[in-house]
A = this chain, B = another copy of it.
């Protein structure tokens, strides 16, 4: 009806014109929030159905994170928010990691999770969370989630960025081509441990 904000002064008979406009709706349509963007947005940009299904936890972490970030949910672009579903099977873990671009709020939906983070002054904050419990992980701080109890755990995380990023310390150290002597120098780990974990996580050198 008002493809251009404030355009209601553009015609002496705005309402009939308005109706015709509605039928035609020519591009470029603005972003629903008023920002301009290249193509017209649709329902598909703002709704995502992927978080209703458990992720596949048949992996070394016995855990799965299913993202609803801007690549999955384009309507998030520019909005400073995103979400993800976390499944942790019995015995599973989301190991020590950091989101470079976002703070996180985690709500437990099923089961129990030992979740915590380490502060800039190396203090530890951790607690066993049950259904309905919520924890905050401040931006850029190392944190973790470990399944506890007798049920697989399900949780929803929210992030203060449409694309928060993820950096798991074990993968950063052991799943790439960073040479073992350099890994050992920057981590204080011994050579045998580094080589064992490089085998586990697929690292080379």
Interface residues of A (CB under 8 A from B): 1-6, 8-15, 18-19, 22, 25, 29-36, 41, 43, 46-53, 55-61, 63-71, 73, 75-76, 79-85, 87, 93, 95-96, 98-105, 107, 109, 114, 116-127, 129-136, 138-142, 144, 146, 156, 158-160, 163-178, 182, 185-190, 193, 196-197, 200-202, 204
Contact = CB atoms under 8 A, between A and B. Distances in A.
Contacts of A67: 5-6
A122 B8 CA distance: 13
Given A1-B201, A68-B105, A100-B140, 18 more contacts: A6-B66, A12-B56, A15-B202, A29-B121, A31-B119, A32-B117, A33-B100, A41-B125, A49-B132, A68-B107, A73-B136, A79-B139, A98-B100, A100-B141, A105-B158, A120-B166, A140-B167, A189-B197
Contact of A178 (B11, B118, B167): B118
B32 A186 contact: no
A99 B34 CA distance: 9
A140 B139 contact: yes
A63 B7 CA distance: 11
A200 B176 contact: no
Contacts of A158: 81, 83, 105, 158
A119 B187 contact: no
User: How often does this chain occur in the complex, in copies?
Assistant: 6
A48 B43 CA distance: 34
Contacts of A6: 65-67, 84, 166
Nearest to A142: B172
Contacts of A118: 32, 167, 172-173, 176, 178
A163 B121 contact: no
Contacts of A133: 47-49, 51-52
Contacts of A165: 5, 30, 33-35, 120, 140
